[in-house]
Chains A and B, each alone.
Chain A
Amino acid sequence: MSFLTAFVRSLPSIWDGIQITVLATLLGALLALVLSFVLGLAARSRHLLVRGLARAVVEFFRGTSLYVQLFWLFFALPILGFKLVPLACAVLAFGLNYGAYGSEVVRGALAAVPRAQWEATVALNMTPWQRMRKVILPQAWPQMIPPFNNLLIQLLKSTPLLSLITVSDITFQMDQLRSATGDTKAAYLVLLVIYFVLAYALTLCMNGLEALGKARLGQGRA
């Protein structure tokens, strides 16, 4: 059977695999985004304990490899009596690992908003929550987009790990196709191209988001 025929015939399962990969990427990214803000804001807390705790969590998940975290959740956690479905393991590992990196992005972007802006909010007697929501965050988030995009692409590139913990992601599906046809070169090339297209699409979305944020700050092209 030629590779092309087999490829066309297995398009439905390849499409399934792409959906799984994209789903894991988006859910992982969502969890990472939430954690980035929680940990990033906690790192700027006035309370030493909160700051210290955030720091420890971030250093822990940055310092221990994503690969090990995922395998720990998949193999070791069930021993403690918590058995998660494989996809949940992956989403959790992606979220925790990239959330730790993302918190540094949030922290840096918040710190980069000029202090004078904060002073103006005090002079207008805003509450700390109003300051953050109305003035500081709207100025900080467009700056977060490019580094967040880098992390998102990294996360996407980590998703072949799914196939190692029995999830039928795109890597698994293409590997099936490879063994069915014996055409290693074509199978891997197609897989790499699929990933390239996904990465490109994500980058385009993020660029759009950044342009939108900058236009609101009056920095973009009018």
Chain B
Amino acid sequence: MLTDNPARKTSVSPVSTAVTFDQVVKRYGDHTVLDHLDFEVRQGERVTLIGPSGSGKTTILRLLMTLERVTEGVIQVNGQPFSGLPEKQLRRARRHIGMVFQQFNLFPNMKVLDNITEAPVQVLGLSRDEAAERARDLLDLVGLADKADVHPTRLSGGQQQRVAIARALAMRPDILLLDEVTSALDPELVQGVLDVLRDIAQATDITMLCVTHEMGFARDISDRVLMFDGGRVIESGPPERMFSEPEHERTRDFLGAVL
């Protein structure tokens, strides 16, 4: 895995850094969402971003996925600068990153299996058979082995989200971005999705960046929790400490409101 990865071979900063935000600013007009943000995520680390809504957590994931562009500053992925690249090189950089969206964003024009195999075939150049095999394994993993030939619109929200997780994993990303993946689900469906993610966290060494309001889940899977407010990280630490004895007053208020 390491040897066939050119980004890692040529990287200048230590190989163990998966994501670096260096003085990143994101503005929409006059509104500053991220204000000279600095943080790092190590390879294999599970980081959860918490904070009030509008604090810029989702923007971080969207910047990493190149769905938005930084206003100032530099983002590095695996030691390679990432922002401001032209489309061709962006594609090379994006190869390491997968994302699961709040609203699942499955393709309604494809059946479940095709949703998962499409990108491996088109982008990674796998054969249909290889991709299908990979997809079936993943469907098994997320507990939907029997839904391969169903239209996504016929699935519950929780099932759709599990398919979306499988779809992201089929690309074998090093880094998985999870953007409020349970926020659009009915309460009784949340647990199934979180269980799948817990299994993945245990079974793989994939780097995870997670925006969530599920504090129990954050506590279970995270190595580190970052508290955001006003476009900056105001406090960070291991979940045990963050949830039991937060130092910053804003963190205490926030946790007091959500726990």
Q: Give residues in A with beta carbon < 8 Å to B.
A: 116-117, 119-120, 122-128, 130, 134-135, 138-139, 216-219, 222
For B167, what are the chain A residues with a Cβ–Cβ distance below 8 Å?
A: 124
Expressed in whole angstroms, the Cα–Cα distance for A124 and B87 within the complex equals 14
Contact A128 B87 (CB under 8 A): yes
Per a CB cutoff under 8 Å, which of B67, B106, B108 touches A122? B67
Shortest distance between the CB of B202 and any CB in chain A (Å) = 24
A128: chain B residues within 8 A (beta carbon): 87
Residues A218 and B151 in contact, CB atoms below 8 Å apart: yes
Partner of A218, one of B98, B108, B119: B108
Q: Does B122 contact A (CB under 8 A)?
A: yes
With a CB–CB cut-off of 8 A, which chain B residues contact A123? 65, 67, 94, 97-99, 101, 105, 168, 177
CA of A113 to CA of B225, assembled, Å = 36
Quote the shortest CB–CB distance from B124 to chain A (angstroms).
9
Contact partner of A135 (CB less than 8 A), chosen from B99, B109, B153, B171, is: B109
Chain A residue with Cβ nearest B116: A124
- Residues of B near A134 (CB, < 8 A) are 107, 118, 122
Complex CA distance for A126 and B103, rounded to whole angstroms: 19
- Whole-angstrom distance from the CB of A140 to the nearest CB of chain B? 10
Residues of B close to A222: CB separation below 8 A: 154
User: Which residues of chain A have C-beta atoms less than 8 A from B67's C-beta?
Assistant: 119, 122-123
A-side contacts of B128, CB under 8 Å:
none
Question: Is there contact, CB below 8 Å, between A219 and B153?
Answer: yes
0/1 string, B178-215, CB within 8 A of A gives 1: 00000000000000000000000000000000000000
Is the CB–CB distance between B153 and A125 below 8 Å? no
Given A116-B103, A123-B168, A125-B95, check contact A139 B123 (CB 8 Å). no
**Interfacial chain B residues near A120, Cβ < 8 Å:** 101, 105-107
Instruction: Determine whether the beta carbon of B152 is less than 8 Å from that of A124.
Output: no
- The one of A122, A127, A135 in contact with B107, judged by C-beta atoms closer than 8 angstroms, is A135
* A–B pairs, 28, beta carbons within 8 Å: A119-B101, A120-B106, A120-B107, A122-B65, A122-B66, A122-B67, A123-B97, A123-B99, A123-B177, A124-B119, A124-B171, A125-B94, A125-B95, A125-B123, A125-B171, A127-B91, A127-B122, A130-B122, A134-B118, A134-B122, A135-B118, A138-B109, A216-B109, A217-B109, A217-B153, A218-B108, A218-B152, A218-B153
- Docked Cα-Cα span, A105 to B42, in Å, equals 48
Q: Is A139's CB under 8 angstroms from B98's CB? A: no
- Which B residues lie within 8 Å of A127 (CB)? 91, 122-123
Q: Which residue of B lies closest to A124 (CB)?
A: B119
A46→B217 CA distance, assembly (Å)? 42
- Determine if B94 and A122 form an interchain contact, defined as CB atoms under 8 angstroms apart: yes
In the complex, which residues of chain B have a beta carbon less than 8 angstroms from the beta carbon of A217? 108-109, 153
Among A125, A138, A219, which residue has the most Cβ atoms of chain B within 10 A?
A125
Rounded to whole angstroms, the CA-CA distance of A117 and B103 in the bound complex is 10
Separation of A122 and B168 alpha carbons in the complex (Å): 11
Complex: A136 Cα to B87 Cα, angstroms: 18
Known contacts A139-B109, A218-B108, A218-B153; is-contact A126 B122 (Cβ 8 Å): yes
> Which residue of A is nearest B170, CB measured?
A124
